[in-house]
């Protein structure tokens, strides 16, 4: 039976007061995770940075015996991985990606120049049939073939890209065959023009009219997607993929940034922990200088130098991205022809050779050359430092336990 109007107690004995609202499940989970994280951080901090006040010698040495070697392994492991990753990217760009991009640009420009030379020679009719095509045509075809072979050997391509490049090489052979047929039919304008037109369509699927381009070797617009079947389409597609890979290599990766943060924190704790441990030994054990701990601290002196080297290398990689874009999008056969015909006029900033030198010089200046080959030894140096710290503290702790007498202050 219910109560009066105040609704204090019902027939089932429940009160009329509304129960307190419960937090949503997501909020409760977030609060619990925050509490656990704070507690875990506090425990890790107390373990990695113990106070010497009121601590027994035995307990402090035991904690340092575990914490300092662990910090050394984590610090140099993360730092060594990040440094090796940056240095490896720099070497990959210098030795593989950059030569492949230069080779593809050379092949593309050489084929355009060869096409222009063939059209100009074959306009002479019987004279071209008797004397053959010009030396520049033969040189440029040979240079295009050689450049494609160098790209294949560069090691910058995936298996699928290597197969695509083999298709390009086969198309170049077929293309030169059609130019040869046009030369054989030089006296028949109709047949000659038809064969030249077919050869031009193999080279470029979407040519730009000579009147629009206003130069001797009219370029073409590369086609993408399923319609990318010509030589220039495929070469431009490979260049685009390599430039994207270069941009990925040149950017800061999430793994490298995470490793840098972890190694930075661990290195700071390690350096401070070694200093506090040396102070503890000097104050409690009257050891003015611990030679093993001093030797373990030596790799820390190389960290600023290696960090500067990694930053230089990363900056140099980022500087190659706009140069690679210029190499793939702004070079032209007209520029290459002018550079070949008038070599004493000064280097053209858009010439392939000039851009290649810019990439090489930028990557060469973007590192400390005397540190080449150091990256694989960073983590082993951390392991040696951890071993020295652990061995020294274990020896001090064992010597202390042996010397300490019952009832002595510890």
pLDDT one-digit tens code per residue, 22-40: 567 777 777 877 887 777 6
Q: Which is more confident, 312 or 31?
A: 312
Of 234-238, 304-308, 316-320, 393-397, the poorest mean pLDDT is in 393-397
| HSE, side-chain direction, 13 A CA sphere, residue 296 | 29
Q: Measuring CA to CA, how many Å separate 410 from each of 21, 59, 187, 238? A: 54, 9, 108, 71
Question: Is residue 43 in some structural domain?
Answer: no
Q: Which is more confident, 146 or 66?
A: 146
Band of residue 107 on the pLDDT scale cut at 50, 70, 90: very high
pTM over 0.85: no
Band of residue 312 on the pLDDT scale cut at 50, 70, 90: very high
Q: What is the pLDDT of residue 96?
A: 95
Q: What is the pLDDT of residue 64?
A: 83
Kindly tell me if the per-residue pLDDT of 52 is higher than 60: no
CA dihedral (67, 73, 78, 80) positive or negative: positive
Of 130-139, 303-312, 401-410, the poorest mean pLDDT is in 401-410
Q: Measuring CA to CA, how many Å separate 304 from each of 78, 216, 264, 380? A: 15, 54, 11, 18
Range of the domain at 143: 56-401
Question: Is residue 345 in some structural domain?
Answer: yes
Question: Is residue 106 in some structural domain?
Answer: yes
Q: How far apart are CA 327 and CA 236, in angstroms?
A: 11
- Domains in the chain: how many in total? 1
With pLDDT > 70 as the criterion, what percentage of the chain qualifies? 82
Helix axes 378-403, 291-329, angle to 10 degrees: 160
Do 106 and 143 contact (CB within 8 A), yes or no? Answer: yes
Question: Is residue 8 in some structural domain?
Answer: no
Question: Is residue 41 in some structural domain?
Answer: no
Q: What is the pLDDT of residue 209?
A: 55
Which residues lie closer than 8 Å to 326 by C-beta, 6 or more apart? 350, 355
Q: What is the pLDDT of residue 166?
A: 95
| CB neighbour class for 388 (10 Å; exposed up to 12, middle 13-18, buried from 19) | buried
Q: How far apart are CA 395 and CA 399, in angstroms?
A: 6
Q: How far apart are CA 68 and CA 267, in angstroms?
A: 10
Q: What is the mean pLDDT of the chain?
A: 83
Question: Is residue 138 in some structural domain?
Answer: yes
Band of residue 188 on the pLDDT scale cut at 50, 70, 90: confident
Question: Is residue 95 in some structural domain?
Answer: yes
Q: What is the pLDDT of residue 144?
A: 95
Q: How far apart are CA 381 and CA 188, in angstroms?
A: 76
Kindly tell me if the per-residue pLDDT of 20 is higher than 60: no
Do 77 and 379 contact (CB within 8 A), yes or no? Answer: yes
Mean pLDDT of 290-310: 94
Question: Is residue 13 in some structural domain?
Answer: no
Phi/psi at 215 (5° precision): -135, 175
Length of the chain: 410
Q: What is the pLDDT of residue 35?
A: 83
pLDDT one-digit tens code per residue, 354-391: 999 999 999 998 889 899 999 999 999 999 999 999 99
| DSSP secondary structure string for all residues of 23-57 | PPHHHHHHHHHHHHHHHHHHHHHHHHS---TT--H
- Percent of residues in the chain assigned helix, strand, coil, to nearest 5: 75, 0, 25
């Amino acid at each position: 039976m219910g109560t009066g109007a105040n609704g204090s107690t019902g027939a089932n004995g429940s009160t009329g007061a509304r129960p307190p609202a419960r937090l949503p499940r997501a909020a409760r989970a977030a609060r619990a995770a925050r509490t656990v994280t704070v507690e875990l951080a506090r425990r890790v901090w107390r373990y990695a940075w113990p106070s010497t006040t009121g601590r027994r010698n035995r307990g402090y040495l035991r904690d340092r015996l575990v914490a300092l070697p662990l910090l050394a392994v984590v610090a140099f492991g993360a730092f060594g991985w990040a440094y090796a990753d940056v240095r490896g990217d720099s070497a990959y760009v210098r030795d593989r990606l950059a030569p492949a991009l230069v080779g593809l640009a050379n092949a593309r420009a050489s084929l355009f120049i060869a096409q222009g030379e063939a059209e100009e020679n074959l306009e002479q009719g019987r004279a071209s049939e008797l004397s053959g095509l010009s030396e520049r045509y033969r040189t440029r075809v040979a240079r295009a073939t050689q450049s494609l072979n160098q790209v294949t050997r560069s090691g910058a391509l995936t298996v699928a890209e290597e197969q695509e490049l083999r298709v390009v090489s086969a198309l170049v052979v077929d293309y030169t065959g059609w130019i040869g047929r046009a030369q054989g039919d030089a006296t028949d304008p109709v047949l000659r023009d038809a064969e030249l037109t077919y050869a031009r369509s193999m080279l470029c699927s979407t040519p730009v009219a000579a009147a629009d381009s206003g130069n001797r070797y009219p370029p073409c617009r590369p086609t993408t997607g399923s319609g990318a079947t010509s030589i220039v389409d495929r070469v431009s597609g490979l260049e685009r993929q390599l430039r994207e890979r270069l941009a990925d290599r040149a950017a800061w990766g999430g793994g490298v940034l995470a490793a840098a943060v972890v190694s930075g924190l661990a290195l700071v704790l390690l350096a401070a922990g070694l200093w506090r441990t040396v102070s503890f030994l000097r104050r409690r054990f009257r050891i003015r200088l611990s030679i093993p701990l001093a030797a373990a601290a030596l790799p820390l002196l190389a960290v600023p130098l290696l960090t500067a080297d990694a930053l230089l290398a990363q900056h140099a990689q980022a500087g190659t991205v706009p140069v690679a874009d210029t190499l793939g999008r702004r070079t032209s056969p007209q520029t290459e022809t002018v550079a070949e015909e008038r070599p004493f006029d000064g280097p053209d900033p858009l010439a392939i050779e000039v851009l290649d030198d810019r990439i090489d010089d930028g990557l060469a200046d973007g590192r400390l050359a005397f540190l080449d080959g150091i990256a694989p030894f960073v983590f082993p140096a951390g392991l040696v430092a951890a071993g020295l710290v652990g061995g020294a503290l274990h020896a001090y702790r064992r010597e202390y336990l042996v010397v300490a007498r019952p009832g002595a202050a510890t």
